[in-house]
Amino acid sequence: MFKRTTWILLGLAVACLLGYFLLDNIQQLRQEQQAERARLFHFATDTIARIEIRQQKEGEPEEILLERIPEEEGSHWRIISPIQSAALDFPIEQLLNTFSRLTPQITLEGATDLAAFGLDQPRHQIALFPKEGDPYRLAIGNDNFDGSGFYAQPEGKEVVLLPSVQKGSLLPSLLALRDKTLLRFDTAEVKALQVQLAGADPEVFRLERQDVRASGAEHFTWQIVEPRELPADEINVNRLLNTLARLQAVEFSAETQTELAPYGLEQPSARLTIELGNGKTLTVALGSEKDGQVYVITSEHPAVATLLTSTADILRSDLEELRDHRIARLNANQVGQVTLESQGEKVTLIPRSPEKGSLELRWENPQQPGQPADLGSLFSSLNAARAKEFVEQANAEAQRVLSEPDLRLTFEPKPDAEQDPLVLTLAASGLRAYVQSSRQPDIAVIELSTFNSLETEVNRLLEGQPESKDSAPLTQPAPTPSPQSP
């Protein structure tokens, strides 16, 4: 009896739950149907083939015409008037979605005084033309008294009040609609870049991409080749190329490049030439600055446009910004031997075979096997060290200090690394510390604190290591620099 009653109660509970969900779904369906019926227009956005927006701007009429251009894979939009330009899909799709979902807050049935709502001579009119059938037209008038809505009238229908949040999507500006891309290319296809900077101290320099093979793998680096060979700063070069590859206008000042003098573009402040692997050449020129923006023209766009000053500053990167300020670029896995010299002491270390199950790289003196040393901190410190400035090889003060160096570090690459040895000679005098690298044609000036840290690290590694028989004094001449890229 008890079990029977329990099953009956459980069945009633299930029936109640099913009834509740069924009723809720029916109510939700009715609400959706009511909302659908309340909409002003009923169409699918992908059926619209043409859009016309007519509005009064500063007393002058403006007409924007857009057409959908069918393609094999989807479609895209193009501005037909007042300019010929590619259009951005996002603001157009937003317009279409908003238009298709317009639902009045209030319908003013029988309203005949259209002037009271700004609809006798509406400032804004929108027409959507489907591929087949009649267009959907909407006139937009004044805002209501508190600005929470605006009056509008579909063609042949009553005046309605629509929520103000929808107005911006319905009336995008020409600038918002047009594609503002000035230049587009794949940075991986860039083979060379030439930069010309005008001004009190004009510069012309050229960078080239160089393929490098190391440990059986291929990669590329950037090298400054003119006016002389210098290693380039990969981060700053890539930032410059990425900015160029996605160059976007802020505004358009003229639709043609026929008159360049008013924009300072007859004699540009900067000119960049990008050479691609397919033989194509792209150019960018920067002009004068006005109101926090800089005028620009490119070989890929017919207009005179503007960039933010911050973007233009990246494009005006000079040789000092694009040259590599690191004193070393070391990959411990590609180094086959390290020789450390300091104050008459010298030790040579080679990589140890890693212990089973360990990925940690350890080093040892081949004359004293079984005494591992950790060079991780030294490699990290050297790779992190940056030159504050560079002085020429002939600098008398730097040559005097380096004639009696405090440290000499030699990194021999593994045979398959296909690189020359890196030799670093370091010395400090007073508040300045100098570094001569076999891979830099100039002498680097580094922070004294950086030098002190490196000296401490080298001396730590030399502690307890007996002086090698082939130890040589550190007063030998600094190595002749080689322009070879690392």
Q: Write out the H or E segment, with its range, that includes residue 208.
A: strand 203-214
Query: Per DSSP, which regions of 19-83 are E strands?
Result: 48-57, 60-70, 75-81
User: Residue 39: which of 157, 168, 139 has the closest Cα?
Assistant: 157
Contacting residues for 112 by C-beta, under 8 A, at least 6 apart: none
Half-sphere exposure of 205 (CA within 13 A, CB side): 24
Q: State the total domains in the chain.
A: 3
Residue 342: burial class (beta carbons within 10 Å; 0-12, 13-18, 19+): buried
- The CA distance from 207 to 272, in Å, is 11
Report the relative pairing of strands 407-413 and 335-342 from DSSP bridges: antiparallel
**375 and 395 share a domain?**
yes
Predicted TM-score (pTM) of the model is: 0.78
**294 and 191 share a domain?**
yes
Name the strands in the sheet holding 422-429, side by side, starting at the edge strand that comes first in the sequence. 363-364, 345-351, 335-342, 407-413, 422-429, 432-437, 443-446, 389-391
- The CA distance from 52 to 189, in Å, is 40
Predicted local distance difference test score (pLDDT) of residue 468: 45
- The CA distance from 415 to 438, in Å, is 18
What 464-470 contacts at long range (C-beta under 8 Å, 24+ apart), as own/partner pairs, is: 465/345, 465/347, 465/365, 465/368, 467/344, 467/345, 467/346, 468/346, 468/347, 468/348, 468/367, 470/346
Does any domain span residue 38? no
CB 364 within 8 A of CB 374: no
Alpha helices of 75-198 — where are they, by DSSP H? 89-100, 167-170, 174-177
Predicted local distance difference test score (pLDDT) of residue 38: 72
User: Residue 104: which of 171, 37, 28 has the closest Cα?
Assistant: 37
Does any domain span residue 483? no
- For the beta carbon of residue 143, count every other beta carbon within 10 angstroms: 16
Amino acid letter, 339: T
Does any domain span residue 27? no
The packing angle between helices 448-462 and 376-384, to 10°, is 160
**123 and 208 share a domain?**
no
Predicted local distance difference test score (pLDDT) of residue 34: 52
**342 and 451 share a domain?**
yes
3-state helix, strand, coil in the chain (%, to 5): 25, 35, 35
**348 and 385 share a domain?**
yes
Does any domain span residue 481? no
What string of pLDDT tens digits covers the 486 residues of the chain?
Answer: 556 677 666 777 777 777 667 666 656 655 545 555 678 898 999 999 999 999 887 667 889 999 998 876 667 899 999 999 999 999 999 999 999 999 998 988 888 899 999 999 998 999 999 999 999 999 999 999 888 999 999 998 999 999 999 998 999 999 999 999 999 999 999 999 999 999 878 899 999 998 765 555 556 789 999 999 999 999 999 999 999 999 999 999 999 999 999 999 999 999 999 999 899 999 999 999 999 999 999 999 999 999 999 999 999 999 999 999 999 988 888 888 999 999 888 999 988 877 665 667 888 888 777 778 888 899 999 999 999 999 999 999 999 999 999 999 999 998 877 778 999 999 999 889 999 999 889 999 999 999 999 999 999 888 855 444 444 455 444 444 444 433
Does any domain span residue 30? no
**173 and 67 share a domain?**
yes
CA 250 to chain centre: 16
**343 and 394 share a domain?**
yes
**195 and 273 share a domain?**
yes
**77 and 193 share a domain?**
no
CB 300 within 8 A of CB 183: yes
Tell me how far CA of residue 480 lies from CA of 65, 483, 484, in angstroms: 67, 10, 12
**160 and 120 share a domain?**
yes
Does any domain span residue 208? yes
User: Residue 105: which of 149, 49, 61 has the closest Cα?
Assistant: 149
- The CA distance from 228 to 218, in Å, is 25
**193 and 142 share a domain?**
no
CB 48 within 8 A of CB 128: yes
**243 and 316 share a domain?**
yes
Tokens of 393: 């090889």
Sign of the four-CA dihedral 183, 187, 191, 196: positive
At residue 302, what are phi and psi to the nearest 5 degrees? Answer: -80, -15
Domain boundary among 265, 297, 322: 322
Which bin fits 216, alpha (ψ -120 to 50), beta or left (φ > 0)?
left
- The CA distance from 7 to 5, in Å, is 5
Helix (H, G, I), strand (E, B) or coil at 56: strand
Does any domain span residue 11? no
Residue 164: which domain range?
A: 45-177
Q: Residue 375 belongs to a domain with what CATH number?
A: 2.60.40
